[in-house]
Structures are given as C-alpha cells and as structure tokens.
Amino acid sequence: MASMLDGVDQRARLAGHNRLELLLFRLATQQRFGINVFKVQEVIQCPPLTRLPGSNAVVKGIASMRGRTITVIDMSMAIGGPGLGDPEKHFIIITEYNRQTQGFLVGSVERIVNLNWREIMAPPAGITEGSYMTAVTQVEDELVEIIDVEKVLKEVIGDSEVVSDGIIDESVSREGQNVLVVDDSSVARNQIKRVLDQLGVNSILCGDGKQALKQLYDLVDQGIRVVDHIGLVISDVEMPKMDGYTLTAEIRKDPKLAGLHVVLHSSLSGVFNQAMVERVGADQFLAKYEPDELASIVQSQLSAHRNHVAA
C-alpha cells in the first residue's frame, strides 16, 4: 500500500491547477470516504499498538515507527460510528495535520482518484453543525464523504485558541480593517475568527475560494475600493470548488484586487507549500494552526497593508 503513494510530492503539484487527488477508504460500513493525498505520508497495515490508560476512547494506542511515536485514532469511532475492532486487522493512514503526525485507523483502503476541485461540493443543505463531513463528491456514481479532520483532531486532541500575553501589540491600530477568512472547515474558520476577535479585527468568513472571489467582486461592483475595505485575505489551500492557490492567482490577475495581502495556510507544512506561495504570488505561508504565530502574522500583514495603502 505504501508504494501506492510513491511520488506524492509530484502529484501534489496538481494543487496549483485547482486539482487534487483523494485517497479512498472505508470504515466499518460500505460508505466510501476520502482524504486529500496532500495530507498523507503513507498507508500501512496496523502494527501492534500500546494502549494509553486514561486516553480518549477513540485513541486505540500508540505505535513506534521509524524512530517516532504516532498516536492512532479509530476514524470510525471519531466520527460517531462503531469501532473497527482488532486494529491489527486494519490499516493506518499516516497523515500530517497542524504540524503533527497522526495515524487514522480505517477498515480498508482502496485507491487514489484524480479530481478537479470543482467536483468537490459542500455538504448537502440540512447537514448539521455537528457533522464531520466537510465536503462530498461522486466517484463511479457513488457518494464519497470527505471528513473534516480538523474537527476530529480538535475533539480528540484539543488545542489552544488563546493568544499569549505580550503577543498582541496594542500600539498597532487595526480600526476599520477587515480580514477575509476562507476555509472549508467550519472549525478552522472559527479558530481563526477567535484569534482575530482577540486582536480586535473584524472577520468576513467564506467556505471556499469561489465564494471568496465572488465576495471580492461584489465589492468591486458596489464601487468599493477593495484594498481599502479588506486588509488581509487568509485562505486555506485545500478547498472545494476553488483551492487557495487558484484563488490567489485570480486575485493577482485582477488589477482591482492585486494589491490585497494574501496569507495561505494549510494543515500540511513543507517546502512545496512555500514554493507554491511564491509561484502564485501570495505574501506568506502559515502552517496552521498556532494562535500566537497567526496573531503575529496578522498584525504584521495588516501593518504592511496600511502602509501600502497610505503610500
């Protein structure tokens, strides 16, 4: 199965063309699920696990692999389904999210499919806030659910959303500055919003790049000088309909939007992201999610934007 993911670095370049590849898998039922190959390091048969007394029930244990210790989470239980039983009869998808490596125990792993982000749709109307579905698509006339991994990790591992003392620069005026936040995960959007709230910055939230671009064009149509109204765009990289790289490229192509400051963020860090940031013309890359670093970047970018507009 590991050989199935050989050359992921090369295939990840699809992101710059509004494309992605999904690794398809199943849990305890016949329902198909998908995870972006961009987040996957390898897939292996589950090795023996060491149980952790007092840990969350969905944490099946830890595995020692190649000199590192990885937490293994039963993905089925994490999204409210039945447990997968004996872990060693199943597979682990080893991923990198939010600068941490973790393994997700799944029932079976199928194959990788190549899709356009336009084929990835938001969850159907009526899906509740408690849902673990961040998007859906169709493969061979079968529904594939894409799981909101940020939501899973927040519930299982938790995180801090408080900016540390001394990070917020009270001398920096942020009055009247708006930040456009673009992310398909409601958890990730709200994490960023809570940091912006602590900075005293107003946020405008969008669920994908296409929606964000429409928001910007609506401002243009209203005769508003966009760079005066939006101090910063913070966009996820991997999103349905239009990814963050494509959104940034579209912003840079339009003279009425080109002056916007853009920060791209992703659950997956690495050299590739930095190279793509430079290629599409974003101002900075942030491997999400760390409140103090986000706060510092926002303050720096808003100050740079204010100086640019004043000039």
Q: Which domains does the chain show, CATH number per domain?
A: 2-156 (2.40.50.180), 178-310 (3.40.50.2300)
Q: What integer pLDDT is reported at residue 7 of this predicted model?
A: 41
Q: What integer pLDDT is reported at residue 268 of this predicted model?
A: 60
Q: pTM of the predicted model, to two decimals?
A: 0.75
Alpha-carbon distance values, 153 to 211, 243, 272 (Å): 26, 22, 24
Of the candidate ranges 104-113, 119-128, 211-220, the one whose mean pLDDT is the lowest: 119-128
Contact 63, 92 (CB under 8 A): yes
The token pair that represents 257 in the structure block: 């939007």
Contact 122, 32 (CB under 8 A): no
Question: Comparing 251 with 126, which gets the higher pLDDT?
Answer: 251
Beta-strand relationship, 178-182 and 230-236: parallel
Of the candidate ranges 43-47, 200-204, 267-271, the one whose mean pLDDT is the lowest: 267-271
The token pair that represents 283 in the structure block: 């101002």
Question: Comparing 269 with 290, which gets the higher pLDDT?
Answer: 290
When pLDDT is cut at 50, 70 and 90, the band that residue 270 belongs to is: low
Phi then psi dihedrals of residue 307, to 5 deg? -65, -40
- 311, pLDDT greater than 80: no
- Condensed to tens digits (0 to 9), the pLDDT of residues 79-105 reads 999 999 899 999 999 988 767 789 999
3-state secondary structure of 108: strand
